[in-house]
Amino acid sequence: MVRCIWNNDAMTLGFTCTLPTWVDDVVDFSRPYDTDADKMDLAIELSRRNVIHHTGGPFGAAIFDEATDRLIAPGVNLVIPASNPTAHAEIVAMGVAGARLDRYDLSNDGAEPTVLAASVEPCAMCLGATPWSGVTSLLVGARDADARTIGFDEGSKPDDWVGYLETRGISVRRDVRRQLAVQVLDMYLAEGGEIYNANGAQYDA
């Protein structure tokens, strides 16, 4: 899990990211995920397994090499088990991708474009992180309103957040497998999953 570790004696702070062990059974680094639907199917399956295994919230993400369609990094929401408010699926995927590629700019200044697939539209935090990550394309499944419907607070975002990303050179495609992504949100709610940071959920973006 993603967890901050504080050693009072040594006065040191550690930050590590470890995905749940079941992720190995879901991802395949050797095959291409040829279509947008293939990429989104992986993100949604990660979110679904996260709910089934009770290892976090109902959100999944994955980052791919645009040229080869190969998976670079998976990510799942680990906020509750990791006691980390920033451990959203997109942020986790970005962190894993950066570690695997050994660079903070995941698209290498545009030379190696990358695609981020997220099972739900980015919240305010993940929206801010998206252009800084260097990804050049964003695919999203469920909409912001779908997450708000079950009680999650997605934060305040510009009405035209898609246009904002596109002005930053990031293409956006919405509603990719939306119904399947919404089913995972509904399953999480039906199973009594914790709706964390829900206080602001009633406010519109």
Instruction: Say if CB 79 and CB 91 are below 8 A apart.
Output: no
154 classed as catalytic:
no
Distance, CA of 141 to CA of 126 (rounded, Å): 15
Alpha-carbon distance 25 to 22, whole Å? 5
- Paired strand residues for 17: none
Judge contact between 75 and 93, C-beta under 8 A.
yes
From residue 123, alpha-carbon distances to 5, 16, 85, 187, 190 in Å are 26, 23, 12, 20, 22
Please tell me which residue in 45, 66, 90, 112 is annotated as part of the active site: 90
**Alpha-carbon distance 53 to 65, whole Å?**
28
| Residue 24 burial (10 A CB sphere; 0-12, 13-18, 19+) | exposed
Residues designated as active site: 90
